[in-house]
Structure 1
Amino acid sequence: MSALWTAKDAAAATGGRAQGDWSVTGVSIDTRTIQPGDLFVALSAARDGHDFVAQALEKGAAAALVSRIPEGCAPDASLLVVDDVLTGLEALGRAGRARMGGKVVAITGSVGKTSTKEMARIALAGQGVIHAAEASYNNHWGVPLTLARMPADADFAIIEIGMSNPGEIAPLSRLARPHVALITTVGAAHLEAFGAIEGIAREKGAIFEGLEPIGTAILPEDLPVTQILRDCADAAGAVVIGFGKDGMARPLRIEPQNGALACRARITGESVGFTLATTGQHFVMNAVGVLAALSAAGADLTKAAAAIGDWQPPKGRGAVEALGGIRLIDDAFNANPTSMAAGLATLAGLPGRRVAILGDMLELGADELAMHRALATDPAMDGIALVHSAGPRMRHLHDALPEEKRGAWRETAAELAADAAALVRPGDVVLVKGSKSSRISAVVDALRAHLAQEEKKE
């Protein structure tokens, strides 16, 4: 494997002092997953990364990025010493972006960032060297880490950019310098920090501030805050492509087919067909946005539409699976009113007795209880037989539901998980969804364990 960074190049990029003559083939911030040849970055979070440098080197790290000589290291240890580790990582990421001659696509949105990033990565298969963020690496260390890991010969890079507070997206976008920036949607996520949906829209629109000259902004057309996004794109001097029911990029046909969706879309004047391995129709609009973004970045649209069929929803983000006599939609990674409505719509569109198991939606601000109650009047609820729930916020949904739809409610997800065997019956189709911090995934684990035991008995 060729070197990603040499000691000389890394020192020049960061302004640091290289100790030893080394080269690295990867960059890591976690000794649990570090690979031989990696540069270990000693970030400080809950623990000081300097405490793990010796361990990283013992496990095969070729060098470590540090702000001081750590205890337990040999005097001649391979190190890159900088004034501040995070600043050093940002500088390394900036240099990684500067030397890359391919096209960069940045993705943000209140819902669907990671699944959309994965769609884009898979859709680009066969179109050169593709680099994409791992997992949900989209914050102040995730973006520079992704850029620092980027091969110099990458043809396309897909960068995910997230936020939880005002002022976070623009600096990350300026670091990534995308040629194309895609906003999946704007919804009431992290509303507690912004006060109103308009504030979230302006923060999401800040992704356009980092666009390269004459860059392209891909934005959703059908939102109450679309004009705010357009204003942000116009201020950045971007070429604007809207996607939605009446956008320049829009779905033309969506047909359910054996647990998948056969689709046709018009992407800026060109008609293409594609298949998505999901029953969740909300993913179709994400796919339309992805195809528009990749086409704007210079990818072959026909090849991308064909390859996107290999994408599947990531674990915990809406995949439908057969599990011991039921069909499970594990969407327990995150939730806000927008994604909850999409999840309920997916559930309502599947055959069988439909059961929703819901955990609290968090960080919604002063109107959070009203938002939970409002789920009772979501149109999809007409097709759902029973709603089990956990958490103090979901109690307000429980009380607002018609009596015949009220399942079990428990104060915590752990208490609901303890009753997993009584929540479903054979033939059910079951959605489990809530914010990650609600820990509603405990119910998924309990259902898996219970149904596995039942299968053994048979």
Structure 2
Amino acid sequence: MTERPLAGFGIDGRRLRPGEVFIAITGARYDGHDFLDQAAHAGAALAIVERAPPDPPPGLALLAVDSTLTALHRLAVAHRARLRAAGCRVISVSGSNGKSTTRHLIHQVLSTCGLRGTQSPRSFNNHLGVPLTLLAARPEDDFVACEIGTNHPGEVAALGALAQPDIAVITNIGEEHLAFFGDLAGVAREEFALLDQLAPDALALLPAPPWLAIEPPSTHARIARFAPAPGLVAAALPGVHNQLNAAAAIAIARRFGIAEPRIRAALSTAQPLPGRSRLLFATDPTRPTLIDDSYNANPDSMRAALALLRTYPAPRLAVLGDMHELGARTATAHREIAALAATSAERCILIGPGFAATATPAPTPGVTYHPSWHPALSSRIAAGLSPTTTVLIKGSRAMALERVVEALSRRFGASPRLST
């Protein structure tokens, strides 16, 4: 039998490349073992399974293990050791908000300045995404930027143990997933658990006061601080929150010894990720400006987005969807954000039962509530828009408010993927 090198690892038969190892993960809504034929058709070199099918796909070698998830994690830990021995540094990015943008900016700056590295594809920041990110890095790389997320206690520590970061960025501590963490102190305990999982001689980068809501506990980790950098952010990345995200990328670039002019040049070309403070039509005087912040939301990121909206002249429209997983803070948080939105925009459209529950018998001028999404809302949102209007679109992931962005973009004659 002719030996061939493995091209990588994957868990999604739809995205598998020839020569990769397919790991048949069993999830809540799918079972990877149902896609062995698809993996074979894609050219998988090997499939790691918990149970062999009675009729294995021809040409697909199988490796049976007790747990494919455990196998994935063990492979990631072994590969992490290879990366360390080769000098490839693992950079982790965690925190309540801004993880994907910060990770993206780190990769943008380092790679533009001549370093070779990889990053988490999309928001690969959970128990599957983190090991896959590590396994995609090559020992000859200079770095891998790894996003670490959480929505239940203990996840950051577990993912940190896989990544063992050489440089760890905690973007902020805010009101995220309070249904599971209880309060801000619970969020802080979860996020700061990463400090106990760093590689030897690692560095943790934290925002300087007052940008960090809670200070870390006593730790043996080396800590350095970063602060917003107003003069170093691309025009396409608006808002103070993006200044803070950029400051983290700048601090890491400096740690890699990159000169300040090269950092400035790299940041000047940075573009936002879809759904994260992305400006559409901002330079077109014939169409309204859209602030596409539709990817996700919690109270802190809502405040940041509304602060950005307030920097634009009237007329302004805020299209906000519910914030999920806030537990006991749900009613209060939606009431606070609804009130802030009413003072930040001349017109507000608030969508979801969380916001609808804040409506009072005496309606607030310019504010309308919709308990759920329905397609006709797109027409209502577009009604009355003028070329001078600025529209903010933001909500939790489950609200899927990117469909508002898509509908408005179609209405004004452009694809949201191509607009600037």
Normalising to structure 1: TM-score of the pair?
0.82
- Go from structure 1 to structure 2 and tell me whether the alpha carbon gap of 1:128 and 1:117 turns closer, same or farther (over 3 Å shift): same
Indicate the residue corresponding to 2:44 in structure 1.
61
Indicate the residue corresponding to 1:38 in structure 2.
20
Q: Does 1:409 align with 2:369?
A: yes
Indicate the residue corresponding to 1:48 in structure 2.
31
Indicate the residue corresponding to 1:439 in structure 2.
400
Structure 1 residue 396 displacement after superposition? 4.4
Structure 1 residue 451 displacement after superposition? 2.7
SS at match of 1:419: helix
Structure 1 residue 419 displacement after superposition? 3.1
After alignment, is 287-296 or 325-334 more displaced?
Answer: 287-296
Which has the larger share of strand? 1
- Go from structure 1 to structure 2 and tell me whether the alpha carbon gap of 1:433 and 1:306 turns closer, same or farther (over 3 Å shift): same
Q: Does 1:337 align with 2:290?
A: no
SS at match of 2:14: coil
Indicate the residue corresponding to 1:110 in structure 2.
96
2:6 partner amino acid: V
Q: For residues 360-406 of structure 1, what are the alpha-carbon distances to aligned partners after superposition, in whole Å with 9 as ceiling and x for unaligned? A: 0111111211111112443x754421111111111245549973331
Structure 1 residue 42 displacement after superposition? 1.0
Structure 1 residue 302 displacement after superposition? 4.4
**Alignment map for 1:257-336 (pairs within 5 Å):** 263=231, 273=232, 275-300=234-259, 302-322=261-281, 325-336=287-298
After alignment, is 344-353 or 328-337 more displaced?
Answer: 344-353
Structure 1 residue 29 displacement after superposition? 1.5
Residue 298 of structure 2 contacts residue 323 of structure 2 at CA under 8 Å; is this kept in 1? yes
Aligned mates of 1:421, 1:384 — CA distance in 2: 15
Aligned mates of 1:97, 1:347 — CA distance in 2: 42
Q: For residues 274-331 of structure 1, what are the alpha-carbon distances to aligned partners after superposition, in whole Å with 9 as ceiling and x for unaligned? A: 5452222320011112221333355555433421222211111110111871111111
- Go from structure 1 to structure 2 and tell me whether the alpha carbon gap of 1:435 and 1:166 turns closer, same or farther (over 3 Å shift): same
Indicate the residue corresponding to 1:395 in structure 2.
356
Aligned mates of 2:248, 2:361 — CA distance in 1: 36
Residue 110 of structure 1 contacts residue 185 of structure 1 at CA under 8 Å; is this kept in 2? yes
Determine which of 149, 156, 159 is the counterpart of 1:162: 149
Residue 110 of structure 1 contacts residue 187 of structure 1 at CA under 8 Å; is this kept in 2? yes
After alignment, is 61-70 or 182-191 more displaced?
Answer: 61-70
Aligned mates of 1:335, 1:118 — CA distance in 2: 19
Residue 338 of structure 2 contacts residue 355 of structure 2 at CA under 8 Å; is this kept in 1? no
Q: For residues 225-245 of structure 1, what are the alpha-carbon distances to aligned partners after superposition, in whole Å with 9 as ceiling and x for unaligned? A: 65542x1xx42x12211223x
Residue 94 of structure 1 contacts residue 148 of structure 1 at CA under 8 Å; is this kept in 2? no
Structure 1 residue 335 displacement after superposition? 0.4
RMSD: 2.5
Determine which of 181, 186, 204 is the counterpart of 2:191: 204
**Alignment map for 1:134-145 (pairs within 5 Å):** 134-145=121-132
1:195 partner amino acid: G
- Go from structure 1 to structure 2 and tell me whether the alpha carbon gap of 1:176 and 1:32 turns closer, same or farther (over 3 Å shift): same
- List runs of 5+ in structure 2 lacking aligned partners: 415-420
Indicate the residue corresponding to 1:192 in structure 2.
179
- Go from structure 1 to structure 2 and tell me whether the alpha carbon gap of 1:74 and 1:445 turns closer, same or farther (over 3 Å shift): closer
Indicate the residue corresponding to 1:128 in structure 2.
115
- List runs of 5+ in structure 1 lacking aligned partners: 1-18, 245-249, 255-262, 264-272, 454-458
After alignment, is 358-367 or 73-82 more displaced?
Answer: 73-82
**Alignment map for 1:376-395 (pairs within 5 Å):** 376-378=338-340, 382-395=343-356
SS at match of 1:120: helix
Indicate the residue corresponding to 1:424 in structure 2.
385
Aligned mates of 1:346, 1:64 — CA distance in 2: 48
- Go from structure 1 to structure 2 and tell me whether the alpha carbon gap of 1:155 and 1:185 turns closer, same or farther (over 3 Å shift): same
Structure 1 residue 350 displacement after superposition? 1.9
2:146 partner amino acid: I
Indicate the residue corresponding to 2:79 in structure 1.
96
Structure 1 residue 75 displacement after superposition? 6.4
Aligned mates of 2:212, 2:413 — CA distance in 1: 46
- Alignment coverage as a number of residue pairs: 405
Residue 198 of structure 1 contacts residue 228 of structure 1 at CA under 8 Å; is this kept in 2? no
| Paired-residue identity, % | 36
Residue 24 of structure 2 contacts residue 49 of structure 2 at CA under 8 Å; is this kept in 1? yes
SS at match of 1:356: strand
Aligned mates of 2:388, 2:151 — CA distance in 1: 39
Residue 278 of structure 1 contacts residue 319 of structure 1 at CA under 8 Å; is this kept in 2? yes
Q: Does 1:243 align with 2:226?
A: yes
Normalising to structure 2: TM-score of the pair?
0.89
Residue 143 of structure 1 contacts residue 161 of structure 1 at CA under 8 Å; is this kept in 2? yes
Indicate the residue corresponding to 1:270 in structure 2.
none
Q: Does 1:359 align with 2:341?
A: no
Structure 1 residue 213 displacement after superposition? 1.8
SS at match of 1:124: helix
